[in-house]
Amino acid sequence: MIGLLLQIFWCFFVIGLFNFGGGGAMISLIQNQIVEVHGWLTEGAFTDIVAISQTTPGPIGINCATYVGYQVMHDAGYSNLLATIGSASATVAVVLPSFIIFFVLMRAFNRFHDDPRFTTVMSGLKPAVAGLIFAAAVILCFHITMDGMVPQISVIAENFPDWKSWLLFAGAFIVTFFFKANPIYVILAGGILGLILY
């Protein structure tokens, strides 16, 4: 039990340490560690967690860590109390690096915020964050493996089981991207249509 708790803590501490750009950018890091490296959850289960984390109040990365910590301990056969401890462990671990880095960077920012090199570094981080968020979206939709130098791309069937899921995906994309619909209304409409269609 202690070993698994420490694994969860360390896993999310590393994720928190190397995350830049908020929760959306964190999703691809969490997916890599949870699904691919440790094999704690399936792609479908992870996608469900991301969906729940998006629709509940609070930052998606922290919500995701909280849920994953609980689920991993629960799936390992531990009680609800120990699963809750796993949840707390993941949550504390993912935010702890931010607190440490924040205090260090605030001192540096006060000294160097007018330095052109600092501005250059910050300008480089912005497109990297956009790339991480795009990577998270791709990871949730497609499974990509390499066959030598040729990428093999397949749709994750658990996330798009039928034509109705593709229709919901396309509709949400169109109204958000082209018509700039409020994401809250898109989420509510998706939930209602999910209840009706499934």
Whether residue 160 contacts residue 173, with contact meaning beta carbons closer than 8 Å, is answered with: no
Q: What's the rounded mean pLDDT across residues 110-133? A: 77
Q: Where are the domains of the chain?
A: 2-140, 163-197
Percent of the chain residues topping a pLDDT of 70: 98
DSSP label of 163: H
- At which residue do the structure tokens 């109040």 appear? 57
Supply the DSSP string of 80-145, one letter for each residue.
HHHHHHHHHHHHHHHHHHHHHHHHHHHHHHHHHTT-HHHHHHHHHHHHHHHHHHHHHHHHHHEEEE
Q: Residues 88-101: pLDDT tens digits?
A: 999 999 999 888 88
How far apart are alpha carbons 62 and 89 in whole angstroms? 11
Q: What's the rounded mean pLDDT across residues 28-40? A: 88
Q: Residues 37-92: pLDDT tens digits?
A: 899 998 888 888 888 888 888 888 889 999 999 999 999 999 999 999 999 999 99
